[in-house]
Chain A
Amino acid sequence: MEIDEKIILLVEDNPDDEALTRRALRKANVANRVVVARDGVDALDYLFATGAHAGRDARDVPQLVLLDLKLPRVDGLEVLRRIRTDSRTALLPVVILTSSNEERDRIQGYTLGANSYVRKPVDFAQFAEAVQHLGLYWLVLNEGPPAGPDR
């Protein structure tokens, strides 16, 4: 895996899902540091170094955002919209990782510029497989966007 430690931002309000996702990433040998945001506000504060995360270097953009849709305070689709409208994060790879397979959510997710939409299966074996594919694709195979204007 990558030598320089790139951050994965996991936006997930459910600690069980967080633990399972971490386990799945570990099984897939993804060693990146995982930062967890518990809700939409927390996620946006982290990304833009505001609120609780004021003082963080906002230029240090995560390599990948795993975004749940149903979140307290600000929901996932709104987080995605703000990520895409801010020049600092406009090109940031965002994978929606959610329980919902409602057509509406998929359409809105892609419309707002999600890079992928993955439904979390109940079966952990399938979930682990999905996370493994995600890690392989987005952290290894995929060439990220060139450094933004602020960097």
Chain B
Amino acid sequence: MTPPAWRSYGAAVLATGLALGLNLWLVPLIEANVFPLFLAAVTVATWHGGLGPGLASTVLGTLAVALFFLPPAMSLAVTTPAAVARLALFVLSALLMTALATRLHRARESAETGRRAAQDRAAASAAGEARLRETIELAPDGILVADRDGRIVQANSQVTRMFGYEHDELVGRPVEVLVPARVRTAHAGHRHEYQASPRARPMGVGLDLAGVRKDGTEVPVEISLSPIGVGPDQRIVSVIRDTTERKRAEAAIRTLNDALQLRVAELRALNQELEAFSYSVSHDLRAPLRAIDGFSQALLEDCADRLDDAGRDHLRRVRVAAQRMGELIDDLLGLSRVTRREMRSERVDLTGLAASIVAGLRRNEPGRQVATVIADGLWAEGDPHLLRLALENLLGNAWKFTARRPAARIELGLRRVDGPPTFFVADNGAGFDMAHAGKLFGAFQRLHAMDEFPGTGIGLATVQRIVHRHGGRIWCEAVPGQGATFYFTLLGGGDGDRREDHPAGGRQP
């Protein structure tokens, strides 16, 4: 805008110097008539730089006049009255010129300022309009502007892409060109109703709206309307969203859901079948066993005199086998109940649970001497009945497989390495070869001979199911002849520190 001060003053000095030079050069022609050029310099300096440079030029001009053009020559002294009068006249004229030119300068400056402001405004407005256009163009939805008569005024590229038209093909045509023929008349009617009370709202709430493309195919859409302005210049802006993808996704979800429903129904049927099967096993399979056992016993009692020792032994074996099958059936049912049972979830005191289980084991076999170490403060989030069953099996196994150990030791504890808290039940019993560990958790899998360690082979399968139902994992480590350790995790639980409750060999009940 305003030139910097050094330039304004420089211009003042330059203009005055130029006037001086010209005057010196023209002295032979113009004689003492040197004032006009200096006044011109003052005018130029003021017009260009304003009041300050104008005054500067005035002072310089005055000095130059006094020095060069008033007697005595080459002296600033002004002695003659005529010279004083001339100099005074010059100063007065120069100041007048300065005053006048200052006003000129200000007028020019303000004009300049106004012009620049106008320019800036225009640029800003152009930028704003460009941004708006860009926003409309790049909007993810189609935006269509129509006038009061329903003629298309503007359509963004989403609209042209969605409907397959060029922009120019749409402008000026009625919006009904984008409405399927079957609802075109109705649409025009709705448009007139909307015109009567325009407000921002979605169009055709609850209806499946469709638009029609240039090629005649339909596209499912969702439209919201809003009026801009009032009176004859009012515009109606429609935001149009292509819902093809969403409809496809919804259809896919519905299909998936239907499939899922079907699977749920199948599973439910399967579960019911399993339930019926278990019930039938529980009831029908045991009846013949009862007959086998009962009539064998009857034979032993009623016909004892007609049987020799071998015959009686055979019958005893028949009874043992029948009873064992009864146990197997019961355990199998127990296993299936673990799966079918509805889970409760509460905070379960594993330390207390283990202590009561161990106490029960001691009561059953008071002759056994087993050191048991149960960590303090163990707890888990889960079903108390199932967790008890799991611990009963694990501790019962440890108890059973340490039967031949003179210094038997069983430990329940918690190990925290990376990952979730891991409980473990360790014993120094018979152990097993890890080569067979894979079979361990299968139902009816046994790694020891029946006469060595009795059992149905269903306990660990039960434990595994319980652990899995609690979102956990179970695994084991074992060395034949040295013992086995079973590790398991549960979704919630942990804490605990060691407590040697029977360090001396455990004689407590």
Contact = CB atoms under 8 A, between A and B. Distances in A.
Interface in B326-359: 326, 330, 333
A115 interface: no
Given A20-B291, A122-B323, A99 B297 contact: no
Interface string A100-139: 1110000000000000000011111101000000000000
Contacts of A99: 282-284, 286-287, 290
Contact of B290 (A20, A70, A100, A102): A20
Interface of A: 14, 16-17, 19-20, 23, 69-70, 98-102, 120-125, 127
A29 to B, nearest CB: 15
A103 B263 CA distance: 28
A19 B323 CA distance: 19
B295 A123 contact: no
Interface in B292-328: 293-298, 319, 322-323, 325-326
B289 interface: yes
A145 B457 CA distance: 48
B364 to A, nearest CB: 18
A17 B297 contact: no
A122 B283 contact: no
A16 B294 contact: yes
Contacts of B284: 70, 99
**Which among B287, B288, B298 has the greatest number of chain A C-beta atoms within 10 A?**
B287
Interface string B452-465: 00000000000000
A100 B326 contact: no
A102 B282 contact: yes
Interface of B: 278-279, 282-284, 286-291, 293-298, 319, 322-323, 325-326, 330, 333
Contact of A122 (B278, B290, B298, B333): B290
Contacts of B322: 122
Contacts, number: 64
Contacts of A123: 293, 319, 323, 326
Given A122-B322, A122-B323, A122-B326, A20 B294 contact: yes
Contact of A102 (B279, B289, B294): B279
A98 to B, nearest CB: 7
B324 to A, nearest CB: 9
Contacts of A124: 290, 293-294, 296-298, 319
Contacts of B289: 122
Contacts of B293: 122-124
A47 to B, nearest CB: 23
A17 B291 contact: yes
Nearest to B324: A122
B283 A98 contact: yes
Contacts of A69: 283
A104 to B, nearest CB: 9
Given A122-B323, A123-B326, A16 B287 contact: yes
A144 to B, nearest CB: 29
A70 B283 contact: yes
Given A70-B283, A99-B287, A127-B294, 15 more contacts: A14-B291, A16-B291, A17-B287, A17-B291, A20-B294, A99-B286, A99-B290, A121-B290, A122-B289, A122-B290, A122-B293, A122-B322, A122-B323, A124-B294, A127-B290
